[in-house]
Structure 1
């Protein structure tokens, strides 16, 4: 009898839980449906969602078909990787145009790839347009509550403290340090040529470039803490690999859930990174007390800003410091290293632009190393970088969530809608860039971004609006240093080992690295 009662009780509990989950999910799904209808009455169409899971089954089906039909080595010349990485967006754009809505079950999304509406997003300064909460939740172990994840007044407070440290006048001071950080890479490549016979060396450049950008961030922003910085960068890279994947774009229970083993690894890495950062903070704080005249780096300024803010308690100050250090460590080097790798891949395909850059560097710098003045006069180098960022922007998306109802142009965006702009699609739109939109043509930027295309607001490698990337000046100068020093020393072409396989791992990076054949000039 007791066993029968226990069995009945168990069945009842399970049944009640199933009913509760089903009821709650129904409410969430119908909320998504209501948002969809509000968009539909404004003329916005999209694929028909299924019950509970919205358009997720269709997305997975389209993705599977794209993977099964993908060639072993993608067409490098075409440069368009969106059809393999995000085929559902490509398909729906063909079906419904540059603005459409789709659902991931509990979330309703608005896809925006129309230049005029992107312009409206650029001009929107409302704190009601923030980062999607369901995505930033997935990224919490990596970014904490720092500026890349926060919204509203918290975000505004963080930006006020951090943004001034990345203004161009501060970045120019770092040029000498950047040159010093790049010199070991150049010497290493020269040594590789010698070891591999003295004529040509086959080198995978992306890891070396990660080392360079990591060195710059650690030295320029965090003073003498590079030994711990290297450990932090390494662990952040492992954490990125564990977290990344397209599933984090979906935001639906049951899709992309991580195993307990993987969750434990993520938690462990998160705690190790936070511990290393806090040790770095305490060391820096101690040095500042010992030497009041010590030049203030970014870490010191974040420390001061947090400790002097009366709205933050002791625990909140520590969290503020650690989280924003995590943001700067990751965003400050990973995206720039990836952008530099894509630049070298494109220049390896186009030796004529190597020659043009080399001639400009010789004219501007002569026999001297680049400095703050000469870097600002490298027009051809700038054009090459701008074109590389057009074809291969490390950030694939601009993503926003309407935290309150907002108006964008003629559209009313209901609270709860997530907006997505697929940057590489916007950067390749023939109506915006012309019939050569998929070609590498840096000369299109000869008169700057404003004359490069029909709608300048469609060029968004660093994002849009008030949340424009804080480190864009730092990134551009680092990229100029990389290209200037490499091209003045070497000629290079793509290695037979190179496999063109762009991969989406929170950013779009070379999936199998970038292998080049280099020679001394």
Structure 2
């Protein structure tokens, strides 16, 4: 009602102005004023009032910027008071996302807030999360203002597309990541991991022959990049290192824009940073397409078993009548960028967190090592032995609970949508903070902030009161299709590392989780490594 009255008042003012001055120029200015005022203030307020009518509270927004100034003030206060690195405290949400934690304590697990002209609904109630998890609707998509910023990194591939386009792409890409296909990649994962063992052996010898202080996260990133390169193009990391290097630079550049603050901008000229992003985007796409064309020539006449991941996906796109030959290049380049980022960066970061946590727990290193000796007495790991490695699976599951690479599940209501007892108006973005959900003592117990892999001994369904609240790979129909690929690669890498080495945290390790599109070790992971006895 308040919105209608205000809108009518504005219209009346515009009419008076037009009648008084009878000027086309003034009429256009008045219409533009009304248009922008509606976008910047009236529409967000209307959405906010619809949520408030349902009993959903939240901080009071300011004009134009919403709650962004308050978010920045809270973040600045926390960062000044933070003492990073001295203690490995696994609950990092109050440091990385302090505004969400402060508002959660004030307004509960469900509240609303604004960033610029975008209205958001924070949802961390397990029942509502379960409702979203079980939903099969396409009416919840990726938030438009976030995906717009991520477009140079992800194109219009699976990670940022919505609706029928997303469903179409998933239908083509998903079969290539089914477990039977992933099992066939175990060999190349083992091959990609062997140079890591060789490098670490050389580091130990170079540092006295007993122990070496190594920053493992960069090495794990190289392994993960090599796996993706071999799987996608049948080539090694050395051939694809330009792509990964430029993707990493692009990721850091985009992360500096603060994806969580959707403040409207009205600049029409590209900034220096935007020009840099566009240049990197063009270079990456050119390199990817060159690799695709080169590999396509190599694979002429090859059998399906000899073709790599990208060739199979490309053929699937060309053969799909809804894609067409003209769109197939855009399809494959965009999804290649998605696979490179999600399959390379996220898996490498997850492996880094696993080693950091295991460095604190030599008893769990011993358990994994003992199980490896039983399952693989000859020391040879293969696809058939991986499902038998229960200990390393539990370690990975617990590491993904405490340090999920993706910090959020974010959705935008593309149409008015019902989630539990909440009607989410069209245009509202929902946010679920995964690490907070994963640390809820009501779901996980009073030891929720402790590293205890044994909680997964009977699987996810028995580790948590609401199994759907365990979401390291996302929610609902957009559940990460690369989860099998990631889990198998993590098992291979961790099993090899733990079989050959024992390790502890280095004095050089500084615990400082950082949010750069994913939650990664801000200063790397330094460990002291020695050969296992």
The TM-score normalised by the length of structure 1 is: 0.94
Q: Which residue of 2 aligns with 1:516?
A: 527
Is structure 2 residue 358 aligned with structure 1 residue 366?
A: no
With over 3 angstroms needed to count, the CA separation of the structure-2 counterparts of 1:32 and 1:217, relative to structure 1, is same
| Number of matched pairs | 509
Report the alpha carbon displacement of residue 73 of structure 1 after superposing the two structures with TM.
Answer: 2.1
Contact 1:179 1:481 in 2 (8 A): yes
2:505 is aligned, of 484, 494, 500, to 494
Q: Which residue of 1 aligns with 2:71?
A: 59
Calculate the aligned-residue CA RMSD, in Å: 2.2
Q: Which residue of 2 aligns with 1:234?
A: 245
Contact 1:247 1:255 in 2 (8 A): no
String of CA shifts for 1:317-374, please: whole Å, max 9, x gaps: 2111111111111111100000000000000011111111111111111132211111
Q: Which residue of 2 aligns with 1:504?
A: 515
Report the alpha carbon displacement of residue 311 of structure 1 after superposing the two structures with TM.
Answer: 3.1
5+ long unaligned stretches in structure 2: 1-22
Report the alpha carbon displacement of residue 175 of structure 1 after superposing the two structures with TM.
Answer: 1.1
Contact 1:82 1:90 in 2 (8 A): yes
- The whole-number CA distance in structure 1 between the counterparts of 2:263 and 2:339 is 29
With over 3 angstroms needed to count, the CA separation of the structure-2 counterparts of 1:116 and 1:246, relative to structure 1, is farther
Q: Secondary structure at the match of 1:247?
A: coil
Report the alpha carbon displacement of residue 57 of structure 1 after superposing the two structures with TM.
Answer: 1.1
**Correspondence 1:163-312 to 2 at 5 A:** 163-224=174-235, 226-245=237-256, 247-254=258-265, 260-291=271-302, 295-312=306-323
String of CA shifts for 1:54-91, please: whole Å, max 9, x gaps: 11111111111111111142531x30111111000000
With over 3 angstroms needed to count, the CA separation of the structure-2 counterparts of 1:351 and 1:19, relative to structure 1, is farther
2:399 is aligned, of 365, 374, 388, to 388
Report the alpha carbon displacement of residue 492 of structure 1 after superposing the two structures with TM.
Answer: 0.5
Q: Which residue of 2 aligns with 1:459?
A: 470
Q: Secondary structure at the match of 2:388?
A: coil
- The whole-number CA distance in structure 1 between the counterparts of 2:120 and 2:211 is 50
Q: Which residue of 1 aligns with 2:56?
A: 44
With over 3 angstroms needed to count, the CA separation of the structure-2 counterparts of 1:344 and 1:18, relative to structure 1, is farther
- The whole-number CA distance in structure 2 between the counterparts of 1:13 and 1:86 is 49
Report the alpha carbon displacement of residue 105 of structure 1 after superposing the two structures with TM.
Answer: 2.5
Report the alpha carbon displacement of residue 257 of structure 1 after superposing the two structures with TM.
Answer: 12
Report the alpha carbon displacement of residue 306 of structure 1 after superposing the two structures with TM.
Answer: 2.1
Q: Secondary structure at the match of 2:523?
A: coil
Q: Secondary structure at the match of 2:120?
A: strand
- The whole-number CA distance in structure 1 between the counterparts of 2:501 and 2:42 is 60
Report the alpha carbon displacement of residue 519 of structure 1 after superposing the two structures with TM.
Answer: 0.7
Q: Which residue of 1 aligns with 2:416?
A: 405
Report the alpha carbon displacement of residue 24 of structure 1 after superposing the two structures with TM.
Answer: 3.5
Q: Which residue of 2 aligns with 1:152?
A: 163
- The whole-number CA distance in structure 1 between the counterparts of 2:399 and 2:206 is 31
Q: Secondary structure at the match of 1:203?
A: strand
Q: Which residue of 2 aligns with 1:108?
A: 119
5+ long unaligned stretches in structure 1: 1-11
Q: Secondary structure at the match of 1:373?
A: coil
Is structure 2 residue 371 aligned with structure 1 residue 354?
A: no
String of CA shifts for 1:227-277, please: whole Å, max 9, x gaps: 542211111011101101462212212499997222221111111110011
- The whole-number CA distance in structure 1 between the counterparts of 2:73 and 2:485 is 41
- The whole-number CA distance in structure 1 between the counterparts of 2:360 and 2:434 is 23
- The whole-number CA distance in structure 2 between the counterparts of 1:375 and 1:396 is 28
Contact 1:338 1:509 in 2 (8 A): yes
The TM-score normalised by the length of structure 2 is: 0.92
